[in-house]
Amino acid sequence: MVGIFTRTITDNLAGLVKQVDAAVGKNKASQLKAFVVVLSDDPDADEPKLKALAKKHGIKNVPLTIFDGISGPPPYKINKGAETTVLMWKRGRVASNKGFEKGKLSKAALKAVAGDTSTLVQ
């Protein structure tokens, strides 16, 4: 399971979501799942942006949602300093927890997340 929590909808986020969406589609037999949550103080403004991201990038396997509040759901303890946090679970346990500050979700970071995602289906 891959959970992506973000406070901002950016091109690099779109790249990450597209990458994870492809991994989920490729690994249906392994039951890899994922979801995206936009943490927002203005859900009404962010909803059309999220829908546009899904349409533009053909997201089919990953549900995209919005949480009202930038702190996120308390049980997840989302990093307050991170623009985007990627959590991964394997067999019910946290396998990876990576927080990316604003502007730090680079191509190298996307590659690292892809590597982490591949370990979930082994």
118 pLDDT band, cuts 50/70/90, is confident
For residue 18, name the pLDDT band (cuts at 50, 70, 90).
very high
User: Do 22 and 62 touch, CB atoms closer than 8 A?
Assistant: no
pLDDT of res. 122: 73
What CATH number labels 2-119? 3.40.30
The tens digit of pLDDT for each residue in 25-40 reads 999 999 999 999 999 9
- Strand intervals (E) in 24-115: 34-40, 64-68, 84-90, 93-100
Give the alpha-carbon dihedral of 4, 30, 119, 110, to 10 degrees: -40
Indicate the domain borders of the chain: 2-119
Across the range 98-116, mean pLDDT stands at 91
> Which stretch of DSSP H or E encloses residue 80?
none
**Residues contacting residue 93 through CB under 8 Å, at least 6 positions apart:** none
pLDDT category of residue 115 using cuts at 50, 70 and 90:
confident
What predicted TM-score, i.e. pTM, was given to this entire model?
0.94
CA distances from 71 to 41, 51, 83 (A): 9, 22, 11
CB atoms within 10 A of CB 33: 16
